[in-house]
Amino acid sequence: MRDAYIVTSVRTPGCKRAKGALKDTRPEDLLAFILKSAMEKTENLEMKDVDDVMIGCAFPEAEQGLNIGRIVTQIAGFPVDVSGATVNRFCSSGLEAIALASLRVMAGWSDVTIGGGLESMTFVPMVGNIVRPHPEYSKKHADLYTSMGITAENVAKRYGISREEQDEFACQSNMRAAEATEKKLFTEIVPTPATKHVLGKNGTYQKETTLIEADDGFRANTTVEGLAKLRPVFAANGSVTAGNSSQMTDGAAVSIVMSEEKVKELGVTPVAKLKCYTTVGCRPDEMGVGPRYAIPKLLKLAGMDIKEIDLFEVNEAFASQALYCLRELGVDQEKANIHGGAIALGHPLGCTGAKLCATLLANMGERGVKYGVESMCIGGGMGAAALFEMCD
């Protein structure tokens, strides 16, 4: 099987749902922009060279509906014969898309593919616009439809993750994000045009465009004391709050994948190889434990030990589940989410897997390390994990 080389991995800023800088920017425009930006950053690559585009989206409806993976190729200006598809594995959709794009290269079916992710949680709310659980099945298996917040409470209670630990972890996430932003360490971000609807003097709304250069969800003034004052939001006597949960966010990210032959032909300098990817199921009512099982499964497939991994990006859906997984795996927090995670930077669902890929590769380059693992829990009770190897 051939190697799959990631040659470019970029993202838009992640901006707060309904209140952030991207709230008026249609998701198609957001994704089309980052696709074009990735192409422009890849030397000698033309749109006609791309074989297929795979886009992760957790709730592919409304403005990000139909087959957004195909529609956006045309909006972005790709030739009509460049195909596209939409992938949905909830929180790992973006990583799933990159893995599928990479598999086509590994199998010899394609020489250039793109994998990415998109979610505008402003335009399409959590769980979508119409939710219709199976009436008979849900009576016996309500856990499959359990609120993500309740699953976070379950993890905290079952595995002894205290409120104090969760708030400390959340504060750390915000502090790391604030410091990285101040030092301009999010080098994977492409400054992104954001639409704003402004009421004009004639009483009609006009579109204005501004350039957004940074994530806008983190709080640089976060303190553990301040977080401790927040009330639980999912259970009366619970420990999960808005402050130690991930933010709902708008964003898009993509990675361009090439075969070794195409890398040499175009004279492109590759960033990393996607070495291995896997998924695993777990109990739906504690879906946050997914990385606890996905990462060992990944490393077994790769024939590696966790001590060989230099950096981790483990999605912070909730502090309780991220803490549990890191603790059970024995991962040093100094190696995980080094510039903050979703509690500070947001969790744009279908985009997150692609977003974390771009962040992980940028961080690996910054630290000059060889191996990195990305992982996340997935709604419905699953985990996903991918192993990346930096190129020399």
d(CA 93, CA 265): 31
- Residue 368 exposure: Cα atoms within 13 Å on the Cβ side: 0
Q: Which of 126, 138, 131 is nearest to 90 (CA)?
A: 126
Question: If DSSP codes are grouped into helix, strand and coil, which group holds residue 387?
Answer: strand
377 in catalytic set: yes
Is 87 strand, coil or helix? strand
Q: Please state, in angstroms and as integers, the Cα–Cα distance from residue 243 to each residue in 91, 160, 227, 327, 344, following that order.
A: 20, 19, 6, 21, 9
Catalytic residue from among 171, 276, 339, 347: 347
290, 381 in Cβ contact below 8 A?
yes
Fill in the amino acid letter for 146. T
Scan for tokens 């994704």, then name that residue.
31
Helix axes 319-329, 290-302, angle to 10 degrees: 40
Pick the catalytic residue from 15, 171, 276, 377. Answer: 377
Q: Which of 15, 57, 91, 171 is catalytic?
A: 91
> DSSP secondary structure string, 274-320?
EEEEEEEE--GGGGGGHHHHHHHHHHHHHT--GGG--EEEE--SBHH
Query: Which residues are the active-site residues?
Result: 91, 347, 377
